[in-house]
Structure 1
Amino acid sequence: MRLPLVVLTGVVFLTGLAAPAHAAEHGRREEPLAATPPMGWNSWNRFGCAIDEDLIRRTADALVSSGMRDAGYDHVNIDDCWMAPERDAEGRLQADPDRFPSGIRALADYVHARGMRLGIYSSAGTRTCQGLPASLDHEEVDARTFAEWQVDYLKYDNCDNLGRPAFERYLRMGEALRATGRPIVYSICEWGENAPWEWGREVGGNLWRTTQDIKDTWDSVLGILDRQAGLEEHSGPGGWNDPDMLEVGNGGMSESEYRAHFSLWALLNAPLIAGNDVAEMSEATRRILLNRDLIAVNQDWGGMQGRRVRDDGDQEVWAKPMSDGSVTIVLLNRGDAPSTVGVRPDETGLPLASGYRLRDLWTGEETRTGTLVEAEVPVHDVVVYRIWPTE
């Protein structure tokens, strides 16, 4: 049985977890597991295998002090390389004794005390992608171990899978997680090889990777973006298409490219899982990750994924219906020269009206327009509007 979550002013806590004092005075409402796309941080994109318990604690503290936790980034997820090279005498996974000497349960307690949730990693194979023990044919014992450690999120990879059917491997872990009685967000990292968007919910998944791993490059972001078109019908509350984690702030792209990356992932209802060094991030990175207007677009309770409505080569328009009747649009310039990008409001799903109110979600500026929404978009950049009919 999956237990409910409680949402406290944008921060989601597991029922029964001690909420921080600042949240106790606010109202509560119950939500199902992954009712909106998960938000948080993951160690892989920036740190790879260079992780230890001090890094996880430092990042948890930085998520709080930076304001990211209060903006909704409430998962602290440990990726590959946390485990010891061998299972213990009882056949259970164990933390690397040198890099995680306090153990995973102690980290879970540390993260929970700060009003967040802890995530862990394994693979639906005999070994993880870095050659450490994984969970194929150990699903029940590993799920129980994660639950005993008070883990809240499992990223389940696809390495060393012996060629066995993906559906069967992911179903078995989904059933094992459910049998623990603990609400654990189940992230299916199958790389989109067997169309997991078609069966992810059936095996208990809350999100499923649609592509191979993202890289910190503009070409990688665009390549992944192209593969999201047409997947909209499979995404919604409780189960989300996952185009992989954010690269914002890792140094491989320009500020405008990171702004476009974040805007598009927000519009796609992608899980917003930061992958940077939160404790050392620049003010520019912080401004992108803490754009409250775009986080609100991503977390809109209606849960409708954005879709591509115009494709004019290097100029594209993506649109997402919002639960209040407005539409958010991204005007994207993929090209190497500034360009005017435009769209008629009715192309985005808005009703015909005599005029429309526009809010620029990066500048906050509000304007009005008639029958055309357009903007001059810089190189490798976006302009993002939320649009309401004025009638």
Structure 2
Amino acid sequence: MGWNSWNAFGTKIDEQLVKDIADAFVNLGLKDVGYEYIVLDDGWMGMQRDAQGNFIPHPEKFPHGIKALADYIHSKGLKFGLYSCVGDKTCAGYPGSRGHEFQDALKFAEWGVDYLKYDWCYAGLMNAREAYTTMRDALYAAKRPVFFSLCEWGDNQPWEWAKEIGHSWRTTGDINNCFDGSKDRYGVVQIVNLRDQEKLRKAAGPSHWNDMDMMEIGNGGLSYFEEETHFALWAILASPLILGNDLRNISQETLNLIKNKDIIAVSQDSLGIQGFKYDTVQDNIEIWVRPLINNEWAICFSNRSDKPSELNFEWNGKNIKDNIYNYEISFSNDKAYKIRNLYSHKEMGKTNKVLKCKLEKNQSLMLRLYK
């Protein structure tokens, strides 16, 4: 859980901006609900390395250097993240880490880096597994604990090999500031549906997660209902909750959403099982579910039709089974579960009655079922 600079700012980052974001991060109470990382994405470095081959922070953007900034972030009780790339250049054309992996890892440790996002641009004919293993070994050798985030875009099926190398791996290309994107411009819907979620969820678990990219909540491209659904699906699918908006200018409505403790609890559930799509009912209402600790379940009803829909869901007789991890929940009128609405934080009765509500286009209903 944390914040990354890319979605809102691209390479237009500097020392004061990041300090201001860190201040807002704490003042808004994000640290108090579990967010902890401030991550600098592409564009923090200068265009050349020094005579010894070391990274040089961009002298105009970061005149006091990266360690001073990391120290400031740490003084706030937060963790500091940085970006690099497997190629000889980053995606934005700055120096990458190819051929400098162990040198860079030592520099990251010297600066106090706690999180490394490692991209896949200018990789040429490199083998992805070997390239990321090299940086993993470099981070180990530097002897500073670092969360290693593989940003390989899912091109080489990292869910099949990455859990021995890093803590999270991207499953798709970059997200865009929209809900319904296109084949080549991924919105929330494309990010969720591009890959076979059954294959992905087999690989996920505590300390190794499928990463559906930073969130676009608060960036103006989504309606509020779409932001709710975005947040709910990232929680159901156990994707890291990395914010990507300008925290200095955030609406109270959006702040309340990203601080929603009930949904955060689903995201951070200690059982550590990624959820899945259970069914599609009525007028294209998708049902996403996730087994939780203590035999509880999270359920998200998401209206994917292009018009409002009246949800009428009969619990009685339904049986939801996780065939991979062997969790199961069955509904009958004499064995009812309590229902909590995770958006309103209110109880909604039990599963012995038909669930009824109206869902606008792209709106969702996020529930927790418990005894």
Query: What TM-score do the two structures reach when normalised by structure 2?
Result: 0.92
SS of the aligned residue for 1:347 comes to strand
Superposed CA offset, 1:242-294 (max 9, x none)? 01010000001111101110111011111000000011111111011111100
Decide which moves more: 259-268 or 352-361.
352-361
Q: Which residue in the other structure is 2:26 paired with?
A: 64
Q: Which residue in the other structure is 2:183 paired with?
A: none
Residue type matched to 1:388 in 2?
Answer: Y
Q: Is 2:54 aligned against 1:98?
A: no
- Among 370, 386, 389, which residue is 2:352 paired with? 370
Within a 5 Å distance, the mapping from 1:124-203 to structure 2 comes to: 124-202=86-164
Residue type matched to 1:376 in 2?
Answer: K
Q: Which residue in the other structure is 2:44 paired with?
A: 82
- Among 188, 192, 199, which residue is 1:221 paired with? 188
Q: Is the 8 A contact 2:37 2:78 kept in 1?
A: yes
Distance in 2 between residues matched to 1:205 and 1:374, nearest whole Å: 43
SS of the aligned residue for 1:201 comes to helix
Q: 1:94: how far off?
A: 1.3
Q: Which residue in the other structure is 1:347 paired with?
A: 320
SS of the aligned residue for 2:163 comes to coil
Q: Which residue in the other structure is 1:263 paired with?
A: 232
Distance in 1 between residues matched to 2:55 and 2:134, nearest whole Å: 17
Within a 5 Å distance, the mapping from 1:307-386 to structure 2 comes to: 307-312=276-281, 314-341=284-311, 342=313, 344=315, 346-347=319-320, 349-353=328-332, 354=334, 355-366=336-347, 367-370=349-352, 372-386=354-368
Distance in 1 between residues matched to 2:97 and 2:176, nearest whole Å: 26
Q: 1:335: how far off?
A: 1.6
Superposed CA offset, 1:309-345 (max 9, x none)? 0034731000000112110000010122111343635
SS of the aligned residue for 2:320 comes to helix
- Among 252, 261, 283, which residue is 1:283 paired with? 252
Q: Which residue in the other structure is 1:28 paired with?
A: none
Distance in 2 between residues matched to 1:290 and 1:257, nearest whole Å: 16
- Among 238, 243, 251, which residue is 2:220 paired with? 251
Q: Which residue in the other structure is 2:211 paired with?
A: 242
Q: Is the 8 A contact 1:63 1:278 kept in 2?
A: yes
Q: Is the 8 A contact 2:163 2:203 kept in 1?
A: no
Q: Which residue in the other structure is 1:297 paired with?
A: 266
Within a 5 Å distance, the mapping from 1:113-128 to structure 2 comes to: 113-128=75-90
Q: Which residue in the other structure is 1:207 paired with?
A: 168
Q: Which residue in the other structure is 1:73 paired with?
A: 35
Q: CA RMSD in A?
A: 1.4
Within a 5 Å distance, the mapping from 1:3-14 to structure 2 comes to: none
Evaluate the alpha carbon distance shift between residue 81 and residue 276 of structure 1 in structure 2; reply closer, same or farther with a 3 A threshold: same
Q: 1:358: how far off?
A: 0.1
Q: 1:372: how far off?
A: 4.8
Q: 1:181: how far off?
A: 1.0
Q: Is 2:243 aligned against 1:274?
A: yes
Q: Is the 8 A contact 1:360 1:383 kept in 2?
A: yes
The size of the alignment, in residue pairs, is: 350
Distance in 1 between residues matched to 2:239 and 2:56, nearest whole Å: 31
Residue type matched to 1:346 in 2?
Answer: N
Q: Is the 8 A contact 1:317 1:343 kept in 2?
A: no
Distance in 2 between residues matched to 1:93 and 1:300, nearest whole Å: 38
Q: Which of 1 and 2 has higher RCO (CA within 8 Å, sep 6+)?
A: 1
Q: 1:369: how far off?
A: 2.5
Distance in 1 between residues matched to 2:356 and 2:63, nearest whole Å: 56
Q: 1:90: how far off?
A: 1.0
Distance in 1 between residues matched to 2:63 and 2:207, nearest whole Å: 35
Distance in 1 between residues matched to 2:30 and 2:284, nearest whole Å: 33
Query: What TM-score do the two structures reach when normalised by structure 1?
Result: 0.87
Q: Is the 8 A contact 2:320 2:330 kept in 1?
A: no
Identity value in percent: 43
- Which sections of structure 2, spanning at least 5 residues, go unmatched? 181-186, 322-327
Distance in 2 between residues matched to 1:311 and 1:166, nearest whole Å: 36
Q: 1:352: how far off?
A: 4.0
Distance in 2 between residues matched to 1:243 and 1:361, nearest whole Å: 22
SS of the aligned residue for 1:286 comes to helix
